[in-house]
Chains A and B, each alone.
Chain A
Amino acid sequence: MDYIIEMCNITKKFPGVIANDDVTLRLKKGEIHALLGENGAGKSTLMSILFGMYQPDQGVIKKNGEVVKINDPNDANRLGIGMVHQHFKLVQNFTVLENIILGVETTKHGMLKMDEARARVLELSERYGLRVDPDALIEDITVSMQQRVEILKMLYRSNEILIFDEPTAVLTPQEIEELMKIMKGLVSEGKSILFITHKLNEIKAVADRCTVLRKGKCIGTVDVASVSKEELSEMMVGRKVDLIVEKENKEPGKVIFEVENLTVKDRATGKNVVNNVSLNVRAGEIVCIAGVDGNGQSELVYALTGLITPDDGKIRLNGNDITKASIRQRNIGGIGHIPEDRQRYGLVLDYNLAYNLVLQSYFTPRFQKHGFLKYSEIYKYADELIDKFDIRSGQGARTITRSMSGGNQQKAIIAREIDRDPDLLIAVQPTRGLDVGAIEYIYKKLIAERNKGRGILLVSLELDEVMNVSDRILVIYEGEIVAELDPKTTTVQELGLYMAGSKRGIVA
């Protein structure tokens, strides 16, 4: 067979976890080969091994049938392997050109030969339809432009085997389509592509074959054309998955939360990153803010939770104006907040679980007296929550939070926020990076809260989540709410068009 790269029986162990367990992956020349798996299935580890960033404990890598040793990214580069990392590896205050040549610079008398490099980059971008300005600074160009720079980096190095690690997470549906075209174009020029993803639609759209990983083990390699999405999904998760959430109809109650003409300006550019946003959330409904990452969702949430002061507009909770209230006042007043990056914003990782569980309530009379903390009360309460929310950890309430799994960390945040009985719960990408079990748990909790009559504002980037969980969808595009949709009557395609800004609706 004509395999350009073979990774045979790769095993890689990290302390306490087997990231890859006897995994075999074979890439044919000129194909797009998808690598499918849940978060933590070992996809990135496998690709890091191929790219020379880790050494496998067992197994060999072959190129064109010959065993090769890849000790570092330089070796990978020499073998023609290039990678677009999930988090771009670009120096922000360097130009596009500088980023492309970094590591493979050509020099004359010790000085960089920039002109030659520029000509080559222009030629490549012409040939592959990847138009970029070589002299623009990375910090000034869009995310999809940055991705093109990453692709150009590989082409500049004449790489033959291109690894794309979750390349679509940061793109709009239109940009995704564009990327798919570029990938097909690259393959037709003779390149071979490894495409890491957990999105089945994209695999169906571009991939020829697909290798599935689950919990570090290789489940199998299939021809994409011969399997259905459902079959792929079952291979990935290990059981039939039905993330269509059970949810009874419920008539929403009174308005809990109102936002009127909210505007937030970017400090540096003065541009409106949140532009005249008005919305409301009623008791017993889940309102979802849908949109592609970076369209003002973060800033909107910052303004709602008090992390930044809006430049204009009003925010009312239960009829009270809280536009100028502090974060603490809002928290006490009835807002619960599940932040987007739980490790950075949601938890003090070096505090133990009990401390994190009282992070929003340590100052209440229950846990302190005259400024002194009542530790026995704190631990008693923590034990209650651990029980009630099924939070698993090594040493119970005294476990250092850093040592807990992502799913249990998220459970801790949810326990803390829900148990405070907030009227409004703001949940930002609450399922990001979690496995299916944890995702199901979180959906159940959110719906239970809705059924109890709380208002929930969900910010999500995942179309499936938007469609399945929410009662009402507000689409945000470039800081503006461009449509209000009913998930029962709208389609994913339609939603995608609004998210990309190519269609605007009438906002109620």
Chain B
Amino acid sequence: MIALYHVTKRYEGLARPALDNVTFQVKKGQFCTIMGPSGAGKTTLLRLLFADERPSFGKITLDGKDLVAMPKGNIPFMRRQVTMVFQDYKLILHWTTLENIAFALDIAGVRRKESLKRATAALEEVGLLHKRDVPCSWLSGGEQQRVAIARALVVQPKVMLCDEPTGNLDPSLAGGIMALLLRQHAKGVTIVLATHDPTVAARHDGPAISLLRGQVEVRE
């Protein structure tokens, strides 16, 4: 499903590449964890998979399609199948939770009535239906993270990329978020999760990839 071949990413002005000759594959329906300390290149890797950045060298494919050669105009359509949960949530804070979630569907061209219905269902799934009409700025970090996950899953993606989804949360909330992601995985969504917490990888039996200084070590 996802394959990286000898991917290197260099940023101008930095002596060491953020990613150095990274090669690995994630099969369809897998729950893959990318582990590593801060600065290891986890976020860079996810951004490459999200086509938010282009590698300096190497090839990345998604469902056999070359992401590096993908025309810019096709990237938005790709992002309706590959969604990302960001560490800083990326919510529009003055909008309600429902509006934030329905927005992803509106953009995908779903009719308003249908998008509100599906967004309500997604809110129910993440346990925030009672906060349907509450602006996101009023929510706690854990709740905002759940809204971000709801927005990512509401479009029924093939792949979900999660960047430290539990990084800012206390262990009990982190457990809830992980359970939520595992439920999505059980439904067949391929998940790539970046974390610095080794206990997260222990909560599932998918492949774990360790990144250290931009270099990869794969553990099946």
Q: Do A and B bind each other?
A: no
List the interface of chain B (C-beta within 8 A of A): none
List the interface of chain A (C-beta within 8 A of B): none
